Amino acid sequence: MSTRTEPAAAPVAAAGPAKAAGRGPWRLVWDQLWARGSARFGLVTVALLVLLTALAGPLSALGGWTPDEFDKRAIDPYLGGLPIGDFGGIGTRHWLGVEPATGRDLFARVLHGGQTSLLIAFTATVLVVVAGTLTGIAAGYFGGRTDAVLSRLMDLTMSFPSLIFMISMMSVAKDVNRILLMTLVIGLFGWPGIARVVRGQTLSLKHREYVDAAKVGGARSWRILTREILPNVSGPIIAYTTLLVPGMIATEAALSYLGVGVRPPTPSWGQMIAESIVHYETDPTYFLIPTVFLFLAVLAFTLLGDALRDILDPRGGRS
């Protein structure tokens, strides 16, 4: 039976024999992750944001407002629709204030906006990781012409002006599901990065003793890839995946900010920031609330991803 000692086992070695006794590798990963203050902050913040956005409907109902419900009593028609009260109308009636001109509840809108933003980011990340992992493993393991073709495809995709294509594609596509289209367009250009990481790891693994032993034992390529190669590149993949999410969130926000992303009445953080620009001098709270949520999400995933990379892939991380 083959023994795997690659990246997935690195946290066990780093923890020391005494600590590793009786503990699985993923328990040790959790212990090291929780011991870091920045990682702990990122983990708690990510969990809280995911929970809040997943429960956007019930929480909005608890607040008493839907994201598309207007409250004309919360705005002053004689002052251009500015919220009544301090800090954008924050109070017991509207916990995070209201949107100028419409009176829509910001608590409900920011939760549903986060639901949209995180859904696109997570789904696009899954597409990127699956496509990149499959491509990288195939290129690294089979080599030869397969590696040459897939590597050139990676280079071509990475050299393509992706932002311009995204803006053009989102602009010309009219009567389509915007969330689905954004997910596919963002995912289309994100896979080469992780494919290169996985390819490099696979190249270093395919000549290891346990892989050679599996070949001698008559194992087919599919079994070797799924039972010998993939488990040993799972650490870097997980770390890279966590680092992908903040980039996906920022890309969705940027496209929505430019007006080619999610369209009203469906809210998203980027769209809310774009709509708040015209009010930032008279109602800065409207601008700050979605910006803070977006900032916290990107920061939390980045801190969590950095910690996971250092733990799961210490050779690829910063020293």
Annotate 176-214 with DSSP letters as a single string: S-HHHHHHHHHHHTTHHHHHHHHHHHHHHHTTSHHHHHH
Ordered structural domains, the chain, with CATH: 24-312 (1.10.3720.10)
Q: What is the pTM of this model?
A: 0.84
Residue 316 forms beta bridges with which residues? none
CA geometry: angle 319, 132, 260, nearest 5 deg: 100
- C-alpha 168: how far from its chain's center? 23
Tell me the HSE value of 125 on the side-chain side, using a 13 A CA sphere: 23
* pLDDT value of position 316: 55
Token reading at 159: 């050299």
Model pLDDT, residue 26: 75
Q: How far apart (Å, rounded) are the C-alpha atoms in residues 250 and 255?
A: 9
Which of 246, 259, 194 has its CA nearest to residue 273? 259
* pLDDT value, residue 282: 86
pLDDT at 314: 63
Both tokens of residue 105?
Answer: 């509840």
pLDDT in tens, the chain (319 residues): 444 444 444 444 444 444 444 567 778 888 888 999 999 999 999 999 999 999 999 999 998 899 999 999 999 888 888 899 888 889 888 999 999 989 999 999 999 999 999 999 999 999 999 999 999 999 999 989 999 999 999 999 888 888 888 888 887 877 778 888 889 888 888 899 899 999 999 998 888 888 888 888 888 888 888 888 888 888 889 888 988 999 899 988 888 888 888 887 889 999 899 889 888 888 899 999 999 999 999 999 999 988 888 888 666 544 3
Kindly report the backbone phi and psi dihedral angles of residue 98, in degrees, each rounded to the nearest multiple of 5, phi listed first.
-130, 165
Name the token pair of 298: 């990107």
Q: How many CA atoms lie within 13 A of 309 on its CB side?
A: 16
187, 198, 269, 297: which is closest to 239 by C-alpha?
A: 198
181 neighbors 172 (Cβ within 8 angstroms): no
Q: How far apart are CA 166 and CA 260, in angstroms?
A: 9
CB-CB contact of 220 with 211 (8 Å): no
